[in-house]
Structure 1
């Protein structure tokens, strides 16, 4: 009886699954697909995009005649705004799924903020962010989509809505690998086409997704944006970072 109970608990529907990674890794496409796949498999799920508001701040900077968001509010100001807005987005997403009972498929989570801060050399801000984000439960599964910075750069340039430098993409990729949580991440190679990446993700979620379920075609235009073709979050820093 106890063994059977433990087995049922082990197969319980995950409350939260987070997809993280550098810009151009395909987080948004794969998060949309995963939410749809879980729902189709009988595990109602909802997609949540936990943006830090950097893109909107960058647009405001341009309207005010500044080249980027960091020139508008400074590095510390930008990291503070991003940390606060992402915290609020995650809180609202968790509350929504608590009310609806759906699995929260998170497009970005707290680790994205830690990596962004770390890549900018803001160790003091990372300590503050961790103190604030500590109230959030760790996802049942955190999937780190890894992609060669050269491939990420190609994808970003192809979508044509924003820009990243190779220097920043490399720094962000390194930041994820150096996070203390890295050992707990499910690392998925995201260098291939979206369908291939979806299959790799599904292989780690076979407990909830049947093998014969085809991958969703949502957002299949290159693996770097949502079905609507909208680009990922961010307003530019000098390196225009948006992990």
Structure 2
């Protein structure tokens, strides 16, 4: 736990249910008297939300992986300055739908061999990790079908197809082995209530 608050991130492939579980966790903690701030990436601050529209909409080949890395890092820096750090300084629980692990996977692994560049840029410009990361593990085909059923304008990464989601799942599980003290893997191939119970159990051990 950070000295002034708790930083929780949610990760997983598209359609894994992480956004739903992040929202449920925020609602549960708020109901229990905690001050929870629910936010997301890319986005979470006015400037970062503008960048979100650039990276999540349009043709799949709109940006190279290198350009995406720079855009996501710029959005994350603004998010960190304007939302995350002020909330942690005020002793709040920050619950973030995606953070740097998504960049490690999407741009660092699956969209290009850029993991070293991702880590270097993260250390230089971000320099912060969540206290605990909830990784919702989901069957790639089922997750993609769920994501596509939402029919939003933010489907640029979903349009890369199931192969990207399969690579992402493999990468996320490898990342959980790389950071076992931070990342908790939870089976998302179950009813929403069952997943929520396990998420709460994982986070409760870290609460101040």
Question: What TM-score do the two structures reach when normalised by structure 2?
Answer: 0.78
Q: CA RMSD in A?
A: 2.8
**What SS class does the counterpart of residue 121 from structure 1 fall into?**
coil
Q: Would you identify which runs of 4 or more consecutive aligned residues in structure 1 move more than 4 Å? A: 52-55, 206-209
5 Å-filtered alignment, 1:155-194, equals: 155-161=146-152, 162=155, 163-164=158-159, 165-179=161-175, 181-184=178-181, 185-194=183-192
Output the CA distance in 1 between the equivalents of 2:85 and 2:28. Answer: 22
Output the CA distance in 2 between the equivalents of 1:107 and 1:192. Answer: 20
Q: Deviations over 1:70-122 (max 9, x none)?
A: 33x43322221122212322343322313533111111111111111222223
Residue 100 (structure 1) aligns with: 90
Point out where structure 2 has 5 or more consecutive residues left out of the alignment.
Answer: 44-48
> CA shift at 1:207, angstroms?
4.3
Residue 57 (structure 1) aligns with: 54
User: Are 1:46 and 2:37 matched, yes or no?
Assistant: yes
**Comparing 146-155 and 198-207, the one that deviates more:** 198-207
Q: Is the 8 A contact 1:147 1:189 kept in 2?
A: yes
Q: Is the 8 A contact 1:38 1:208 kept in 2?
A: no
Residue 131 (structure 2) aligns with: 140
Point out where structure 1 has 5 or more consecutive residues left out of the alignment.
Answer: 1-9, 210-243
> CA shift at 1:50, angstroms?
2.0
**What SS class does the counterpart of residue 172 from structure 1 fall into?**
helix
Q: Is the 8 A contact 2:137 2:188 kept in 1?
A: yes
Alignment equivalent of 1:33, drawn from 24, 42, 63: 24
**Comparing 171-180 and 29-38, the one that deviates more:** 171-180
Change in Cα spacing, 1:59 to 1:34, as seen in structure 2 (3 Å) is closer
User: Are 1:20 and 2:11 matched, yes or no?
Assistant: yes
Change in Cα spacing, 1:174 to 1:21, as seen in structure 2 (3 Å) is same
